[in-house]
A and B are shown apart, each in its own frame.
Chain A
Amino acid sequence: EVQLVESGGGLVQRGGSLRLSCAASGFIVSSNYMSWVRQAPGKGLEWVSVIYSGGDTYYSDSVRGRFTISRDDSKNTLYLQMDSLRSEDTAVYYCARRVAVVQGVTKSVYFDYWGQGALVTVSS
């Protein structure tokens, strides 16, 4: 059974740092594309970052330069290091397995498994 379990959320001051972890079971993290998606209180979903199986990483404009996605293959765990946190980073952060399929010029990108979420609150 596939399972994703986040940890590391909490309250942090503006400008501070926090590291989220996402422990996976039932599949191999390093063989898949893994993402972080966040949801601000009462708001919709926002893609944050992805790490490809080959190790390439990408970020949304809102977090590029401040957040770092990584993984530990020996622990089958995904991480999100969040630095220079801002009040607008307050959200529930979900790790999710991302699937991407290209068929000619048509791309299919979706998230088939999600963790339970970790709440990050940035206080001013």
Chain B
Amino acid sequence: QSVLTQPPSVSAAPGQKVTISCSGSSSNIGNNHVSWYQQLPGTAPKLLFYENNKRPSGIPDRFSGSKSGTSATLGITGLQTGDEADYYCGTWDSSLSDVVFGGGTKLTVL
């Protein structure tokens, strides 16, 4: 059971928009910044966002990150088949004094 809750899967058609939620509590998302990672099949995770909505260089602006209260959201517009991957949220948990991750969301582009 992950500390952060994500939907197991989402799907949408090419060109459409999708959002992936990440729900936590006041000890983690509520008081700390969120990061997002993309894991393409058979590869290592890759940083998509840090500090809720900051994009490392090379990440297209089709991807967006936001946070409100104890939840965070990853948005992807103009979906491409190459976006099919597992997406993970992560943050610091002040009560656990540990980094925690969501269980991951598998994105399928139909």
Q: Which residues of A are at the interface with B, using a C-beta cutoff of 8 A? A: 35, 37, 44-47, 60, 94, 98-101, 105-117
For B90, what are the chain A residues with a Cβ–Cβ distance below 8 Å? Answer: 45, 109-111
Q: Chain A binding site: helix, strand, loop or mixed by DSSP?
A: strand
With A44-B88, A99-B50, A116-B44 in contact, do A106 and B33 touch (Cβ < 8 Å)? Answer: yes
**B76 is an interface residue with CB less than 8 A from chain A:** no
**B14 is an interface residue with CB less than 8 A from chain A:** no
Query: 8 tightest CB-CB pairs across the interface, nearest first?
Result: A110-B35, A108-B33, A114-B44, A47-B99, A110-B50, A45-B101, A109-B92, A107-B92
Question: How far, in whole Å, are A107 and B32 apart by their CA atoms in the complex?
Answer: 5
Interface residues on B, range: 20 to 34
Of residues A45, A60, A101, A114, which shows the largest number of chain B Cβ atoms within 10 Å of its Cβ?
Answer: A45
With A44-B101, A45-B104, A47-B101 in contact, do A108 and B92 touch (Cβ < 8 Å)? Answer: yes
For A105, what are the chain B residues with a Cβ–Cβ distance below 8 Å? Answer: 31
Of residues B2, B45, B46, which shows the largest number of chain A Cβ atoms within 10 Å of its Cβ?
Answer: B45
Q: Is the CB of B92 within 8 A of A111?
A: no
Question: How far, in whole Å, are A112 and B33 apart by their CA atoms in the complex?
Answer: 14
Question: How far, in whole Å, are A101 and B32 apart by their CA atoms in the complex?
Answer: 10
With A44-B88, A45-B90 in contact, do A111 and B45 touch (Cβ < 8 Å)? Answer: yes
